Amino acid sequence: PNRTFQRHSRLLASDVYSQYESIRRGEQEIPKYFNFASDVLDKWSEIEKAGKRPPNPAFWWTNGKGEEVKWSFEELGLLSRKVANVLTKVCGLRKGDRIFAILPRVPEWWLVYVACMRAGIVLIPGVSQLSAKDILYRLQASKAMCIITDDTLAPAVDSVVSECHFLKTKLIVSKGSREGWLNFTDLY
């Protein structure tokens, strides 16, 4: 009596689950190389454009100050392609290269994450509590060619960057500029 919803489990299944089921039954081909950005995000964008589903936010971010950012699947796809272009063209990253991202919970973090998936770049996430010594160790161990952070941790990165021989590009998420850093927001 407590589980009456199970009688109609097909009604509760999402489109993603039904796609999984059709792959499992052999009705859809499994992609040789799966890429979340192109195989899922772009597919959902096409479904919305075709009017097969109502537009829903793919991303909805709010902060404690009442600011919010809402992106549809199409917008998230477009912005992530722009960021992927920044990473590949401006930063010179290629498939398999590493980027170290130390960002708080801001929309740019998700853009970088999806862009890395799209471009095949390896994302190394870091928390904002890292010290300069922690950042140095992670940059050296990972051989990251690019780092992205905000104003808070940029001084810590600058204090150890001379010991990081693989690091080529520093991106900052900031309203202002910082010497030796590329402004991420301005670029995309």
Q: Which tens digits make up the pLDDT trace of 71-97?
A: 999 999 999 999 999 999 999 999 999
Q: E-strand spans in 73-159? A: 98-102, 122-126, 146-150
With cut-offs at 50, 70 and 90, classify the pLDDT of residue 12: very low
Question: 87 near 115, Cβ under 8 Å?
Answer: yes
Which of these CATH numbers, 3.40.50.980, 1.10.10.10, 3.40.30.10, 3.40.50.300, describes 59-186?
Answer: 3.40.50.980
Give the integer Cα–Cα distance in Å for 40 and 52: 15
Residue 142's pLDDT is 96
With cut-offs at 50, 70 and 90, classify the pLDDT of residue 49: confident
State which amino acid sits at residue 67.
E
The length of the chain, given as a count of residues = 188
Q: Domain segments of the chain: what residues?
A: 59-186
Q: Give every CB contact of residue 14 below 8 A, 6+ residues apart in sequence.
A: none
Q: What is the DSSP string of 17-81?
A: HHHHHHHHTTSSPPPSS--HIIIIIHHHHHHHHTTSS---EEEEEE-TTS-EEEEEHHHHHHHHH
Q: Which tens digits make up the pLDDT trace of 160-176?
A: 999 999 999 999 999 99
Give the integer Cα–Cα distance in Å for 18 and 146: 39
172 against 10, higher pLDDT:
172
